[in-house]
Amino acid sequence: MLDEICQSAMVPTDLAPCRYPRTGEYDKFFGEGVYECAGRGTPLYKSSTKFNSGCGWPAFYEGFPGAIKWTLDPDGRQTEITCAACGGHLGHVFKG
């Protein structure tokens, strides 16, 4: 049932592949506010936790408590982060 609700709320761009680095509107955006999940509107990050990582995608060092789910990929090489409310892909954890 939940999958059907999520799918009915999606638009074609929601199913598009990840954007190329440095092409998204939020890569260089540092305005004040709260970043929310595109699927549910769930608050994910405070703008004060955003930083320029140089990777070309928005980067944050901390999310709202309970808002982000961390899952180690099956090969153990990467950690994916998703919205805890709907499972929407948010990115991967980069350390360095």
Q: What ranges do the domains of the chain cover? A: 24-92
pLDDT of 13 > 60? The answer is no
**Mean pLDDT over each residue of the chain, to the nearest integer:** 82
User: Domain 24-92 belongs to what topology?
Assistant: 2.170.150
Instruction: Say what the alpha-carbon torsion angle 94, 55, 39, 88 is, to the nearest 10 degrees.
Output: -30
Q: What is the mean pLDDT of residues 18-25?
A: 80
Q: What pLDDT shows up at residue 72?
A: 94
Could you tell me the pLDDT band of residue 39, with boundaries at 50, 70 and 90?
A: confident
> Considering only CA atoms, which of 56, 60, 55 is closest in space to residue 23?
56
pLDDT of 3 > 50? The answer is no
pLDDT of 85 > 90? The answer is yes
